[in-house]
A and B are shown apart, each in its own frame.
Chain A
Amino acid sequence: MPTNFEISDHDTMHVATRAVSPWQRFWTFLGNPWFQIAINALVVTASELFLKLGARDTAHLAHGWGWTGFTGLASIWTWLGIVCVILSLMSWLYVLRHVPLSIAFPLSNVVHVLVPLSCWIFLHELISTRRWCGIALVLIGLAVVAKPFSRIEEKL
């Protein structure tokens, strides 16, 4: 087991010895790196959808230097997407501080399930049978990566 997981345990014990305000409990909960991985995935999904909306609005500008993407800045959606990207970066950096990259990064790929699903729901893009199979495979892979850690959480 990697040794850099003790932070959240330490915080929990530290808080438990004193009278705990709901506010403190909230911060401890928010400070859980595993919870932040989930939050991160949701914010990343939102950012991708906003960026797509921004790109869709500015698609007619995509000629000449358009391939650099700078013309996308003409849409308000793009800026909303950028705000989400910055938020997700902050939570991601927090995650990286406590969890090894080779574990956190595969888990962050739950966005490859969330993005097609939300494209389907919100942008009305189609999901083929093959894409559904891919989504299922990603979920199985996530379970395989996450399993040893859920077992450790149970023991604690």
Chain B
Amino acid sequence: MKILPFVLIFAALITFVAGQLFFKRAMEGSRSAGFGKQFATFFVPGIVSMTISFFLTLGLLQRFDLSYIYPFQGLSVIIVSVTAAFLLKEKLTLQLTIGALLISLGVVLVSLS
């Protein structure tokens, strides 16, 4: 296994997680402040980040099976839950942590096959 596919998979993962955090921040703000300048400040970087992630994933899909590539994004469950807790101050319960770990583990198992 060459290293480039893993670098690309990692890059697709990071841009994906960043996009999620931007989107959540934008939509949360929209509940009180509407869809104005403050919304755009978070929404536009979210779209840019997601677009980069999208094309990286598409490039990977041209070389590998969908059921092999896609599960790597499963690691994002842990990353998103933890970063949402720290950066967005969401509550991370024990049950949520266990559930997220099980999902991640399951997704890694799927990807190893």
Contact = CB atoms under 8 A, between A and B. Distances in A.
A128 B109 CA distance: 10
B106 A101 contact: no
Contacts of B111: 134
Nearest to B102: A141
Contacts of A105: 20, 76-77, 80-81, 84
Given A62-B63, A144-B99, A96 B23 contact: yes
A8 interface: no
Contacts of B106: 112, 133-141
Nearest to B61: A55
B58 A106 contact: no
A87 interface: no
A125 B101 contact: no
B27 A112 contact: no
Contact of A145 (B24, B85, B100): B100
Q: What's the dominant secondary structure at chain A's contact region? A: helix
Contact of B21 (A58, A101, A103): A101
B40 interface: no
A20 B61 CA distance: 47
A125 B74 contact: no
Interface in B71-112: 71, 74, 76-77, 80-81, 84-85, 88, 90-93, 95-96, 98-112
A109 B103 contact: yes
Interface of A: 2, 4, 48-49, 51-52, 54-55, 58-59, 61-62, 66-72, 78, 85, 89, 92-93, 96-97, 100-103, 105-106, 109, 112, 115-116, 119-120, 123, 125, 127-128, 130-131, 133-148
Interface of B: 4, 8, 20-21, 23-24, 27-28, 30-31, 50, 54-63, 65-67, 70-71, 74, 76-77, 80-81, 84-85, 88, 90-93, 95-96, 98-113
**In the A-B complex, the 5 residue pairs with the closest CB atoms:** A137-B106, A134-B109, A141-B102, A69-B58, A145-B99
Given A102-B84, A119-B66, A141-B102, 20 more contacts: A51-B66, A62-B62, A67-B8, A68-B59, A93-B27, A97-B28, A97-B31, A100-B88, A102-B80, A102-B91, A102-B92, A112-B106, A131-B110, A133-B109, A134-B107, A137-B106, A140-B106, A141-B103, A145-B100, A148-B93
22 contacts: A2-B91, A48-B70, A51-B61, A55-B62, A59-B63, A62-B59, A69-B58, A69-B60, A71-B62, A72-B62, A92-B23, A100-B91, A102-B85, A102-B88, A102-B90, A102-B96, A106-B99, A116-B71, A123-B66, A127-B113, A133-B109, A138-B103
